Amino acid sequence: MALTLKCRCGLADRLRGLPLIVTLVATLGVWSGWGPAVISASAASPSAPSADAAQPEAVSADAALSGRLDAVLHNALAQQQIVGAVVVAARDGQIVYQRAVGMADRENGKAMSLDTRFRLASMSKAVVSVAALALADQGMIGLDDPVTRWIPSFTPMFRGKVEQGITIRNLLTHTAGLSYGFLEPADGPMAQAEVSDGLDNPPITLEENIWRLASVPLYYEPGTGWRYSLAIDVLGEVVSRAGGDTLPAVVKNLVTGPLGMTATGFVADKPEMLAAAYVWADGKPRLMAETEIVPHGNSATRYEPGRALDEQAFPSGGAGMVGTAVDYLKFLEALRQEGGPVLKPQTARAMTADQVSPIFSQRQNVPEGKNSDVVAPGWGFGFGGAVLLHPEKAEYGAGEGTLSWSGAYGSHFFMDRNNGISFVVLTNTTPTGMAGPFAVSLAQAVYGNTAADKAKKK
């Protein structure tokens, strides 16, 4: 999951440095171990990071990094912001921090481990986006192809007509005019059409959910705005049809298989290793119910955590994957190293560039005042996540082109190619694990700075 453009609860400035679910966290009103283990590299993934002995000059810096991250995690556990977490960080291909803390299942006394599986939620989007881009690299799809080439029935209308068709590029960049149910009133058009956001588990197929989505009017004409949406679920159906197999099979063939992400898929491969899901409420986390309705503003998000164990659940490209922190770091490292075995270098670089402004520039009817900072101040959107376009606006020392996103069950990542950093934190607590003080503090710990430090340097 991610955020919309405005925050109604006064937290936008506080959270501006990290593009992590600002609207959802704000409207919820929630704010009043490590070691030298190696990420094994398969023959197909020669560039996976290792934890070989660091250079002497890097030892003290890594010790300082560990101390800072340890302190953030200790405070988060002590203040009951999270129940448990796995954090992995790499610099220039070397793992410099790797730790599991807290409980994977508090009620059953099961500690967190590096092998714990997590519901990735919207961190699935980057993986499915890479699968689509890999198909484009192979000439199987074109980014400017109309979606109707693959899904002829997908013709949602704007103001009662279809003047501008949705393209694959629109889906990848959330410029299609689609939305999410959790961004609408409880009785809004998405709810009336019974569209799933991919976090619940209705007994329908992906094709059925997309058919329902097509009946909902667009929020704007494709290419003229930005709105976080179910676009990647639609993209998942395109990937499936263009790839000639189910979405899970195509993603495994194009992305997770080549990268050796053996614990990542659309259902937990080891149910006993799946973390329990918690929601932060009334100052502390509690175990999610089988169906958990989390209200925010005049809407709500419907969670059904059992979906991660259901092989019959439709594969949601935007929210349906399960995996480990170590696996996800392999994915980020492939992107940092310009695509590794899954993408062409120019395609991997395109993921971390502003992809929205070029779309706006091609349309004459884009509303006045639209700019590249569509996610948050300083943050635009590339392919698969938010991209830092103006580092001076961030609350930590990330470089231009840093790619970042988060997941609604309590996770987030960033990949900073300029500084050689890949970082993943997976928690089992929403929303505190994905945004707000915890997420910002972790990022500041990685770079060893704070917003005040940045202000002094200006």
Residue 256 near residue 326 (C-beta atoms within 8 A):
no
How far is the C-alpha of 157 from the C-alpha of 220, rounded, in Å?
9
What would the 3-class secondary structure string for 350-364 be? HHCCCCCHHHHHCCC
Could you give the angle at which helices 231-243 and 124-137 cross, rounded to 10 degrees? 40
How far is the C-alpha of 101 from the C-alpha of 430, rounded, in Å?
16
Q: Which residues pair with 284 in a beta bridge?
A: 281
Backbone angles phi, psi at 56, to 5 degrees: -50, -40
How far is the C-alpha of 318 from the C-alpha of 332, rounded, in Å?
17
How many other C-beta atoms lie within 10 A of the C-beta of residue 312?
A: 9
Element (H, E) at 99: strand 94-105
Residue 25 near residue 431 (C-beta atoms within 8 A):
yes
Label the pairing between strands 429-430 and 278-281: parallel
- Six-digit token string for 243: 């790839």
How far is the C-alpha of 226 from the C-alpha of 35, rounded, in Å?
42
The alpha carbon of residue 78 and the mean position of all alpha carbons in its chain are separated, in whole angstroms, by 26
Residue 149 near residue 212 (C-beta atoms within 8 A):
no
Label the pairing between strands 299-303 and 94-105: unpaired
End-to-end CA distance of the chain: 33
Q: What is the DSSP string of 244-292?
A: TS-HHHHHIIIIITTTT-TT-BSS-SSGGGBPP-EEEETTEEEEPPSSE
Rg (CA), the chain: 20
Positions marked catalytic: 122
Do you find a cis peptide bond into 431, omega within 30 degrees of 0?
yes
Distances (CA, A) of 189 to 6, 82, 151, 183: 21, 34, 22, 11
Q: What is the largest CA-CA distance in the chain?
A: 66
Q: How many helices (H) and strands (E) does the chain have?
A: 14, 15
Fill in the amino acid letter for 76.
Answer: A
